[in-house]
Structure 1
């Protein structure tokens, strides 16, 4: 199939903004990795008018897909960690064009999983865990147990990813098989949720207690990235936090995460005067003394 697609990827490779081209072939045991297409071309570019551009091709009985993605969007998907296909393609695809060893270095980066990479991924997964836990608890308290169940499953997935990240591994591929080996207690929670003979209400009640305990035990690690970022300046508006080049990866979960850290004492709200006498701007700063005491074990 590579020779059929050669004119397509050679045209792209000749363009100066193209950083790399990967060819992915369907594997029968996991056809979903290529969305059932026989072949996928992943083309990474420095910049483009559209962050992602897709075309489908047909050759005899073979179907092929081409995805052109910008470096910025690729980094976002890798940092947020919710697209296991991209990670699989980078790890297992065939590199057929690599400008200045861009893909080679990217693979090394993913394999080595540097400490900063772990911190930002931990923070993003932890913020998602907080939102799912809080929303699930609201549904539970209103008696909407099926909606609550959905959120608890997602919470456990984020806990699973956190445990894999904490062990220096990449969590996008076969997460639960990884978790079963490295943190069986979280795998056991998942089993209890889906296999227990207890009533759904009772299962959820027990899971919320367990998840709350795990959240409290993981808050220091989960908050490390956002707190270190916020320590770069004294106070922040919420828009400044959203605009920060790393914190923007938290997306819609950023604000609920900040409120959670305010409740836990890590962040202080600092009112600032506005044009109205009765309304104040809400600015945020890290409680340095509290954070130091937390990380020194004075709890």
Structure 2
């Protein structure tokens, strides 16, 4: 297949804007890693008008996809964990072009997984975990069991990803295979949710209780990054936090995480008078014990 596609990727390699090209072939009959395509050509560009541009090809009763992606977009995906296939492509794909060893250096950085990068990714996953867990519990308490089930599945997935990152690994597409070896108690929770013969209500009731205990065990690791930011000054408004270069990656999940940490006495609120009688500005600070 590579020989057939060589003219396509060689044309891209000739562009000075191209940083590297990785070729990923489908390994299994059904392959989520390649979106069922027989081969993916993943091209990283220094810059482009569009951050992502995709073309599809057919040849010899096979199908291929060409992904042209800017460096900025790739780094954002790696930071936010919003496109898990990228790690698999970079780590397991075949490098067919690499300007100044750009991709090799990127792979080395992924393998080393710097501690600060881990803390930020864990913070993002923890914030997502809290939102899904609390939304799911709200649905459960109002007897909306299917919606509660959907949210608890997602919360367990974020808990699994958090555990994998905490152990120094990048979550992959097959995250449950990873977490089964790293923290089997989380994997067991997932099994109980999807395989138990108990009623939906009983399964969810047990899962919310067990999940809460595991979440409480992860507060220190999951909040370390945000705590570090909060300690940069005495107090923060929500807008200041949302504009912070790193915290803005938390997005809509930041407020829910702050409220959770206030409830758990990890963050405290400072009030400042406004011109309105009995109305105060809210500021957030790390609680010192």
TM-score under structure 1 length normalisation: 0.88
Question: Judging changes above 3 Å, is the alpha-carbon distance between structure 1 residues 244 and 13 closer, same or farther for their aligned structure 2 residues?
Answer: farther
**How many residue pairs are counted as aligned between the two chains?**
289
Counterpart Cα distance in 1 of 2:224 and 2:146: 33
Query: Is this contact kept in 2: 1:38–1:63, CA < 8 A?
Result: yes
Aligned twin of 2:168: 168
The Cα offsets for residues 213-236 of structure 1, whole Å up to 9 and x where unpaired, read as 111111011100111123223333
1:209, CA displacement in angstroms? 0.8
- Partner SS, residue 218 of structure 2: helix
1:235 equivalent to 2:235? Answer yes
Query: Is this contact kept in 2: 1:76–1:249, CA < 8 A?
Result: no
The Cα offsets for residues 66-91 of structure 1, whole Å up to 9 and x where unpaired, read as 11122222122222224221111101
Counterpart Cα distance in 2 of 1:221 and 1:29: 39
Aligned twin of 1:51: 51
Structure 2 unaligned spans of 5+: none
Question: Judging changes above 3 Å, is the alpha-carbon distance between structure 1 residues 241 and 7 closer, same or farther for their aligned structure 2 residues?
Answer: farther
Aligned twin of 2:262: 262
Structure 1 unaligned spans of 5+: 291-299
Aligned twin of 2:177: 177
- Partner SS, residue 151 of structure 2: helix
Aligned twin of 1:127: 127
Question: Judging changes above 3 Å, is the alpha-carbon distance between structure 1 residues 208 and 285 closer, same or farther for their aligned structure 2 residues?
Answer: same
**Cα RMSD (Å):** 2.1
Counterpart Cα distance in 1 of 2:103 and 2:250: 25
Aligned twin of 1:32: 32
Aligned twin of 2:152: 152
Q: Which moved more, 1:260-269 or 1:129-138?
A: 260-269
Aligned twin of 1:198: 198
Aligned twin of 2:111: 111
Aligned twin of 1:294: none
TM-score under structure 2 length normalisation: 0.91
